[in-house]
């Protein structure tokens, strides 16, 4: 045995150091043996270090139960450094195995040690475990403790989670404060993802606070009609941003059926529609004189926040109908009466007046090639518009 090995045999510290070198070089068996020898010495100062080192080596061996026993051996020494490290190692082992109860116990041990280096992840883990179990009150307390550490890595995550629960409970102002404080802990350049995540959450908190404020105006019920109509519009347009489309439709409905507010609310609902006569009281009732027949359907879609869906349906139908007309025109109209030829020509050119016209023309040309292959008529450039049109 070398001089170094002789010294290691006599000195627990040197044994641990040599075991560490063996572990780093991949000689796990010799590392484990040396750590075990230190443990066999009894209550020596290096016992916690050796137990933790053995736990790590045994885990690398795949001996999960042996590793956990070694972790507990380190924990039981109550060593201020290696005790919480062993509890941290143990908690992660149980988490990987999906063992929530034992994981929570191990995280609790980490917290009990009080070592500042390991408190932030322990507090965050305990908060999430409590939250998963439906104990929101305890979860919030653990999140607040994690935030209180001021840790640049874990405190912002805890703030985000806490704010999410606060928003669910309607505490948007408190959520904003939590997020704003956490944002000051984040270096935007060093952690852009964390910064963006918190900033987005602050925006959501502002949306929820706005929803609450607009709703409060309407609940009062005795304010100025113009203010109430404005609050109706703003509430109805903000709710869908939080995935609350059904509530938005109900806000519009109430405003449109309120005899005092209806006129102003309808004007706000239709602010982006082409100017024209006012629509009827309800969608699907048929068009009034001077009103395009489709406007009640558009208004209904605006109220229900389904305008994109309606637009998709209309363009799909237009694409199909246009293809039928354009195909006959492209195949040749010499055999048709002059009036029919002119009508077909006018029909296929109508879309050119709109921003989406070229897209519809191109769609037809592609469908024609796909359906007829080599038999498809050769369309001139920018068909059906005249050259230079």
The verdict on residue 347 lying in a domain is yes
Q: Which of 1-5, 16-20, 227-231 is the most confident on average?
A: 227-231
Is residue 326's pLDDT more than 90?
A: no
Is residue 288's pLDDT more than 90?
A: no
Instruction: Report, as an integer, the average pLDDT of 176-184.
Output: 94
Lowest-confidence region among 50-54, 62-66, 186-190, 366-370: 366-370
Q: What percent of the chain has pLDDT over 90?
A: 64
Report the pLDDT value the prediction gives residue 69, as an integer from 0 to 100: 97
Is residue 282's pLDDT more than 60?
A: no
The verdict on residue 350 lying in a domain is yes
Is residue 286's pLDDT more than 50?
A: no
Report the pLDDT value the prediction gives residue 386, as an integer from 0 to 100: 74
Task: Return the CATH number at 30.
Answer: 1.25.40.10
Is residue 80's pLDDT more than 90?
A: yes
Which residue range is the domain that position 345 belongs to? 309-375
Q: How confident is the model at residue 9 (pLDDT cuts 50, 70, 90)?
A: low
The verdict on residue 30 lying in a domain is yes
Domain boundary residue, one of 71, 91, 115: 115
The verdict on residue 138 lying in a domain is no
Instruction: Report, as an integer, the average pLDDT of 9-31.
Output: 86
Q: How confident is the model at residue 119 (pLDDT cuts 50, 70, 90)?
A: very high
The verdict on residue 39 lying in a domain is yes
Report the pLDDT value the prediction gives residue 4, as an integer from 0 to 100: 45
Residue 291, token pair as written in the block = 């009103």
The verdict on residue 204 lying in a domain is no
More confident residue, 27 or 52: 52
The verdict on residue 239 lying in a domain is no
Is residue 389's pLDDT more than 70?
A: no
Q: Which of 11-25, 128-142, 335-349 is the most confident on average?
A: 128-142
Report the pLDDT value the prediction gives residue 336, as an integer from 0 to 100: 81
Mean pLDDT of the chain: 88
Domain count, the chain: 2
Domain boundary residue, one of 53, 85, 115: 115
């Amino acid at each position: 045995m070398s001089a170094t090995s002789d010294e290691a045999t006599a000195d627990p510290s040197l044994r641990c150091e040599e075991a560490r070198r063996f572990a780093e070089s991949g000689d796990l068996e010799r590392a484990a043996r040396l750590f075990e020898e230190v443990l066999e010495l009894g209550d020596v100062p290096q016992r916690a270090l050796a137990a933790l080192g053995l736990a790590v080596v045994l885990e690398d061996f795949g001996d999960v139960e042996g590793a956990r026993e070694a972790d507990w051996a380190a924990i039981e020494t109550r060593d201020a450094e290696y005790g919480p490290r062993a509890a941290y190692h143990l908690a992660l082992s149980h988490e990987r195995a999906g063992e929530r109860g034992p994981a929570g116990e191990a995280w609790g041990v980490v917290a009990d040690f009080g070592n500042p280096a390991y408190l932030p992840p322990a507090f965050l883990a305990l908060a999430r475990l409590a939250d998963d179990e439906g104990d929101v009150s305890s979860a919030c307390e653990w999140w607040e403790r994690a935030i209180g550490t001021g840790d640049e890595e874990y405190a912002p995550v805890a703030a985000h989670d806490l704010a999410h629960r606060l928003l669910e409970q309607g505490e948007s102002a408190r959520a904003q404060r939590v997020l704003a404080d956490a944002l000051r802990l984040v270096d935007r350049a060093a952690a852009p993802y964390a910064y963006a995540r918190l900033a987005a959450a602050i925006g959501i908190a502002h949306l929820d606070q706005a929803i609450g404020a607009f709703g409060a105006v309407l609940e009062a019920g005795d304010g100025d009609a113009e203010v109430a109509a404005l609050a109706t519009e703003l509430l109805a347009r903000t709710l869908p941003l939080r995935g609350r489309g059904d509530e938005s439709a109900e806000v519009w409905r109430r405003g449109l059926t309120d005899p005092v507010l209806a006129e102003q609310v309808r004007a706000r609902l239709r602010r982006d529609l082409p100017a024209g006569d006012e629509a009827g009281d309800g969608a699907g009732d048929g068009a009034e004189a001077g009103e395009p027949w489709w406007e009640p359907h558009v208004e209904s879609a605006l109220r229900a926040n389904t305008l994109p869906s309606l637009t998709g349906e209309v363009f799909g139908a237009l694409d199909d109908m246009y293809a039928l007309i354009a195909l006959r025109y492209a195949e040749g109209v010499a055999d048709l009466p002059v009036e029919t030829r002119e009508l077909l020509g006018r029909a296929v050119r109508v879309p050119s007046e709109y921003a989406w016209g070229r897209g519809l023309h191109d769609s037809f040309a592609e469908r024609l090639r796909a359906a007829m292959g080599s038999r498809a008529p050769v369309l001139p450039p920018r068909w059906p518009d005249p050259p230079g049109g």
